[in-house]
Amino acid sequence: MRLAEVTQLISTDIRRALIGIGVTGLSVARFLQSQGREFDVYDSRDNPPGLDVFKKEFPGVQVHLGALEDGDLCGYSEVILSPGIDPKNSWVQSALQAGVKVFGDIELFAQAVDKPVIAITGSNAKSTVTSLVAEMAKAEGFNVGVGGNLGTAALDLLEENVDLYVLELSSFQLELVGSLAPVAACVLNLSADHMDRYASMLEYHAAKQRIYKKAERLIFNREDELTQPLVQDGQTSLSFGLDNPDINDFGLRQLSGETWLVRGHHPLIAADDVALKGSHNHANVLAAMALAEAVGISESAMKKVAREFAGLPHRCQLVSRHMSVQWIDDSKATNVGAVVAALEGLGLGKNIVLIAGGQAKGQKFDELKSLIKAHVKQLVLIGQDADKLASVLQDCAPILFAVSMDAAVQVAAQSSQAGDIVLLSPACASFDMFNGYEHRGNEFARAVEALV
């Protein structure tokens, strides 16, 4: 029997199941089809969004809908999970116990990619840093594939003419990765998030740390000990932070009365020249520079982007200056750590009216107490778990409740004066009232515009 016939026999002997129809599921299906690999599809929902599109694009694929039970997947060789599906589900565990290989789309990407990869994770600022690094690479003249948890699914990025991949990765995506070997990887920060999926911070921390496993250069936040990697043979590490750095690290220094972003003692750019404002964004730019340096991006390209990149929608985005009040949309702040970063970066005494609330995702809000006492003059609470926030924060600032985003903006307008900031930074998920954080931010901007 010839080698090609043996390969074909082995390929057809492998039974694969793709679990979850959605953006990621479609990208996996396209990739498998392009490789000539057969697969079945399962989705626990009876009528998942995108089902019609899937059936039209893959008419020959068998689709199983409805709840999965233990043993349903045990006849397969490989099971590919969409990241929203918890591997701790009993029907996934039964497949693992039966010897089925279970992995996700990023593992498929890692096995297929043949160009350098920069990988970025963290509880907050992933999208901002991913976008900064991608823009720096483009400024250097690289053809960049950018996506993952941000924008385009990783497998849809695979092209022959790409020079560099820059991936934002969530903890969900990292849970089932074993082969990813980035030229540089970074955990930006770590604070409690997705506690409705993880049993503890230790479990969440372990998922994030998987990004470092096979990376060449490990970039971490020296002001957040939970981001620090265990460096193995053949790996090097670099840190960033908002303090004076060691000789090879990235940080801030005072030079001639000005704050500068530096690498060791070498000045890179004055903090006032960085387009993204707030100390938290200085940290983001430093992290991006450390990652960009790992693939040979020049200092001039880094500085050009630092001066010009104004940020992403819904991430501390200025949407209006109405009546000398700054209205800032930070709807992407779906956890406590993101709100901490925003308050630390924007707070100047009690100058903030904070709109917060939504679905708490099992989080605790005690970490917000000191910052709200220091910077928030009025707290406006919305959403399903507004009472949970109020019970924790009741002694930190005056609290008002609103039943809608329009009502919240009206209350905030009445509570603010010239020089203040009205900040939408919810610390919660949005799906109790909105279709997602983008919808929430857009509704905030619309309501602010209606004030005029």
CATH code of the domain covering residue 407? 3.90.190.20
How crowded is residue 227: how many other Cβ atoms within 10 Å of its Cβ?
26
228, 232, 234, 239 alpha-carbon torsion, rounded to 10°: 10
Question: Do 193 and 174 contact (CB within 8 A), yes or no?
Answer: no
- Looking at the fold, whether 332 and 273 belong to one and the same domain comes out as no
Please indicate, yes or no, whether residues 259 and 391 belong to a single structural domain of this protein.
no
> Do both 411 and 292 map to the same domain?
no
- Residues 219 and 300 placed together within one structural domain of the fold: yes
| Whether 91 and 172 share a structural domain | no
Which domain-ending residue is among 278, 308, 338? 308
Domain end marker among 273, 308, 343: 308
Cα diameter, the chain: 82
How many domains is the chain built from? 3
| pLDDT < 50: residue spans in the chain | 1-11
Going from the C-alpha of 409 to that of each of 79, 169, 358, 382, 441, the distances in angstroms are 46, 33, 15, 11, 12
Q: Tell me the residue range of the domain where 438 lies.
A: 317-449
pLDDT, position 365 = 96
Residue 429: closest CA among 195, 273, 256, 205: 195
| Cβ burial, residue 6 (10 Å; 0-12/13-18/19+) | exposed
Distance CA 288, CA 283 (A): 9
**Predicted local confidence at residue 157, as pLDDT:** 97
Q: Are 159 and 268 in the same domain?
A: yes
Pair 154, 302 in one domain: yes
Q: Of 103, 126, 146, which closes a domain?
A: 103
Residues 189 and 75 both lie in one domain: no
pLDDT in tens, 1-14: 343 443 443 445 68
Residue 7's pLDDT is 41
Are 168 and 288 within one domain? yes
The answer to whether residues 11 and 89 belong to one domain is yes
The reported pLDDT for the residue numbered 194 is: 82
pLDDT at 397: 97
Residue 350 has which token pair?
Answer: 């009690």
| pTM across the whole model | 0.84
58 shares its domain with 151: no
Residue type, 375: H
The catalytic site residues sit at 126, 149, 194
* Residue 86 belongs to domain with CATH number: 3.40.50.720
In degrees and rounded to multiples of 5, residue 76 shows phi and psi of -95, 160
Amino acid at 240: F
Pairing relation of β-strands 117-121 and 101-103? unpaired
The span from the CA of 187 to the CA of 212, in Å, is 8
Residue 186: the pLDDT is 98
Q: Tens digits of per-residue pLDDT, 41-56?
A: 999 999 998 899 999 9
The predicted structure's pLDDT at residue 12: 54
93 and 121 in a single domain? The answer is no
Q: Kindly report the CATH number assigned to the domain that includes residue 252.
A: 3.40.1190.10
